Structure 1
């Protein structure tokens, strides 16, 4: 990573914003630059320009819109990660679909958030997201788990505690919060998550939740 030290030695994450709405990109850039630990080092309004900027400047994080005039953000994320495998990418969308979220998770995108969501949530995600994680906004989890006519299968060997962890995962909570809810250690909770991913043949928590929904193992949020 290319984080630099800011005032008083604070680590500053360098961020590129890729969005076809210039006003939105400028507003987000300004908001990032008002934070002591975040800095926007450039914006781009097309997929091609965004990919080129990321490869040239190698930022720590990329915020990319799902819909761009010359392609979609998933195509951009795939190209960026092919060139810079350790890049952390957060995708914004105003029109989420479960297919897009699942593909984003499989590509290695770190976060998938609603474009009209709170700025504070985006800033928190940018500060905490790690390579290999997949953070989804709660509103998008609800969209993912809307009832669909999907084939229901039997429980693929999940224990009662694993089902509890899975249900909490489906509500968008992180490992620390889930561990606190279940009165177990974060280390133990991570072990349950690892087991769940293995049993559901999933590569991320989002994939596990999507598979569990298809199998009828979890209900829609709010039920």
Structure 2
């Protein structure tokens, strides 16, 4: 059972999210907060697996609440869920320690899969947020690395990495390519080892720097 704390300043949204999660067999809502301060307190009390965090909230906003949760080292991972997609908020949320970023217009199944992905140690990113992170990295003047062709990646690993950049989760990649989710994980593990990265975000940045997404 994946234990979740929800934080949003709108009562209708809180009730809707809680109802959605409680309709599943593997997600349990252990606390609901109407502001960032309450979210931090609930995380410290319950130590859930995942905190689903809005960004614009009273008392303490979602960015500062995320930072406080990460610094408390409770083992709780933060998944940002917001209606905002502006650059500053994306940057601030990720820099504060959020491991995933989804928008409220996402499909319900995308949100549920995103929470599960965070609990597994993955980093689900809305494609718009992923593009922002990639554009920021390339705009920072980083030195271009050698061509990806010398990395030893297989054609299938290349396909999987491109879909990671699009923001797809393992389950969605499996459906797109007609393979099992276990096979997707195996390809990602192999690809990470070949290119020397540790997670999806690093892999997406590597792909952008090497031009793999345009090949």
User: Structure 2-normalised TM-score?
Assistant: 0.73
Distance in 2, matches of 1:169 and 1:156, equals 21
The aligned counterpart of 1:173 is 168
- Report deviation, 1:139: 4.5
Indicate the SS of the match to 2:31.
strand
Query: Of 48, 57, 69, which aligns to 1:80?
Result: 69
Higher normalized helix content (fraction of residues): 2
The aligned counterpart of 2:153 is 161
Query: Of 205, 211, 215, which aligns to 1:217?
Result: 211
Contact 1:175 1:190 in 2 (8 A): no
Distance in 1, matches of 2:165 and 2:101, equals 14
Distance in 1, matches of 2:93 and 2:194, equals 22
Indicate the SS of the match to 2:30.
strand
- 1:205 counterpart = 2:200: yes
Gaps of 5+ in 1: 1-11
Deviates more, 1:69-78 or 1:142-151: 142-151
Change in Cα spacing, 1:195 to 1:57, as seen in structure 2 (3 Å) is same
Distance in 1, matches of 2:24 and 2:184, equals 32
Indicate the SS of the match to 1:53.
helix
Distance in 2, matches of 1:174 and 1:44, equals 27
Indicate the SS of the match to 2:119.
coil
Pairs within 5 Å for 1:29-48: 29-48=18-37
- 1:15 counterpart = 2:1: no
Change in Cα spacing, 1:195 to 1:96, as seen in structure 2 (3 Å) is farther
Distance in 2, matches of 1:211 and 1:103, equals 21
- Report deviation, 1:145: 5.3
The aligned counterpart of 1:196 is 195
User: Structure 1-normalised TM-score?
Assistant: 0.71
- Report deviation, 1:128: 3.6
Higher normalized strand content (fraction of residues): 1
Distance in 1, matches of 2:41 and 2:112, equals 24
- 1:114 counterpart = 2:97: no
